[in-house]
C-alpha cells in the first residue's frame, strides 16, 4: 500500500514538474523580443518601397519592431497591414524558431506613368498606383488621358510592356484631336498612329515590318507620321 502511494506521489510530482517547466518556458518565450528582422523583396524589381517603410508597417507604431514581444505581433494583422500599402502586391510574414521575423515582399509593377495634375502609375493589372518616393519607374509617359479612361487604354499599355520591340522604342502615348492614340518613339521624331485600341497584334506586326524595311532603306528620318489604323496598311506622311 505504501509503495503504491509513493508511486502515485512520485508520478504526481513528475506531472507537476512538467507543467511548471512548460509554464516557465512559455512565460520566457512570451517575454522574448524579436531578435532580428529580415526583409526580402522577391523577384527582380525596382525599389518602389524600401526596407525602412516595410519596417514601419510591421508594427502599428513608429518604434523598432525588435522591441516588440513575440506574443504582441499578430502575423495575420501584419500581413494585412503590408498588403494594404499601395506599393505592395503581396506579402508573406513569419517568425522563425530562433526569434527572427521574416517578411517576403512582392511589389506592384508599374507599366506606365500618367501625366496628370496628380501624376500616377498604371500597374500590370490595370489598376492605378501612386508615384514612389524611393524610385522613379522608367515607363512610357501617358498624355491627355484621365483616370476613367485607363480601362480603355490599358490593353495598349500592356501590349507595349509585353512586346520587347515596343518596350524598347516607345516612350510616350498621346491622344490626338480625333481621340485616337499615338505613340512617341525614343529615337525617331515621327508619331505612330495606333488609332483605336483594337487589332493590336496586326498593327504591331505591320509596324515592325515597315520599321525593318525603312531601317534598311535609311528612310526612317523622312517621315512625320506613320499610321497603322487602316486594315493591313501602313500609311506614311512625309515631313
Q: What is the pLDDT of residues 75-97, one digit of tens each?
A: 778 788 888 889 999 988 888 87
Dist CA 47 CA 175 (whole Å): 30
Amino acid 100: pLDDT: 81
How far apart (Å, rounded) are the C-alpha atoms in residues 227 and 225? 6
- Do 225 and 166 share a structural domain? yes
| Higher per-residue confidence, 62 vs 193 | 193
Q: Is 175 within 8 Å of 143 (Cβ atoms)?
A: yes
By the 10 Å C-beta count (0-12 exposed, 13-18 middle, 19+ buried), 225 is classed as middle
* pLDDT value of position 4: 54
Domain CATH for 142: 3.40.50.11690
In this model, does residue 28 exceed pLDDT 50?
A: no
Task: Return the CA Rg of the chain.
Answer: 30
Q: How confident is the model at residue 73 (pLDDT cuts 50, 70, 90)?
A: low
More confident residue, 167 or 42: 167
105 class by beta-carbon count within 10 Å (0-12 exposed, 13-18 middle, 19+ buried) = buried
pLDDT more than 70, % of the chain:
78
Residue 128 within any structural domain of the chain: yes
Domain containing residue 53: CATH number: 3.10.20.310
Number of structural domains in the chain? 2
Give the domain range for residue 86. 32-107
Tell me, yes or no, if the pTM score tops 0.95. no
CA distance 171 to 164: 13
pLDDT band at 227 (very low <50, low <70, confident <90, very high): very high
C-alpha 232/C-alpha 107 separation (Å) is 39
**Domain check: are 116 and 148 in the same one?**
yes
Q: 195: Cβ–Cβ under 8 A, 6 or more apart, which residues?
A: 180, 181, 203, 227, 228, 229
213 & 169 share domain: yes
The reported pLDDT for the residue numbered 94 is 82
Q: What is the band of 157 on the pLDDT scale with cuts at 50, 70, 90? A: very high
Average pLDDT of every residue of the chain: 82
Average pLDDT on 165-174 reads 96
Task: Give the 3-state secondary structure of residue 225.
Answer: strand
Amino acid at each position: 500500500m505504501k509503495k503504491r502511494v509513493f508511486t502515485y506521489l512520485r508520478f504526481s510530482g513528475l506531472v507537476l514538474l512538467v507543467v511548471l517547466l512548460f509554464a516557465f518556458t512559455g512565460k520566457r518565450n512570451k517575454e522574448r523580443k524579436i531578435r532580428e528582422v529580415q526583409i526580402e523583396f522577391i523577384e527582380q524589381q525596382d525599389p518602389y518601397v524600401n526596407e525602412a517603410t516595410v519596417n514601419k508597417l510591421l508594427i502599428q507604431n513608429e518604434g523598432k519592431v525588435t522591441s516588440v514581444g513575440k506574443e504582441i505581433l499578430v502575423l495575420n494583422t501584419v500581413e494585412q497591414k503590408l498588403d494594404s500599402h499601395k506599393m505592395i502586391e503581396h506579402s508573406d510574414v513569419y517568425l522563425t524558431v530562433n526569434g527572427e521575423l521574416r517578411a517576403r515582399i512582392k511589389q506592384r509593377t508599374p507599366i506606365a506613368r500618367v501625366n496628370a495634375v496628380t501624376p500616377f502609375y498604371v500597374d500590370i493589372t490595370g489598376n492605378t498606383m501612386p508615384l514612389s518616393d524611393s524610385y522613379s519607374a522608367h515607363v512610357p509617359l501617358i498624355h491627355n488621358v484621365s483616370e476613367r479612361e485607363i480601362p480603355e487604354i490599358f490593353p495598349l499599355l500592356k501590349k507595349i510592356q509585353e512586346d520587347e520591340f515596343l518596350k524598347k522604342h516607345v516612350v510616350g502615348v498621346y491622344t490626338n484631336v480625333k481621340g485616337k492614340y499615338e505613340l512617341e518613339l525614343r529615337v525617331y521624331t515621327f508619331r505612330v498612329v495606333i488609332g483605336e485600341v483594337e487589332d493590336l497584334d496586326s498593327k504591331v506586326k505591320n509596324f515592325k515590318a515597315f520599321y525593318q524595311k525603312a531601317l534598311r532603306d535609311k528612310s526612317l528620318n523622312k517621315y512625320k507620321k506613320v499610321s497603322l489604323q487602316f486594315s493591313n496598311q501602313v500609311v506614311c506622311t512625309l515631313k
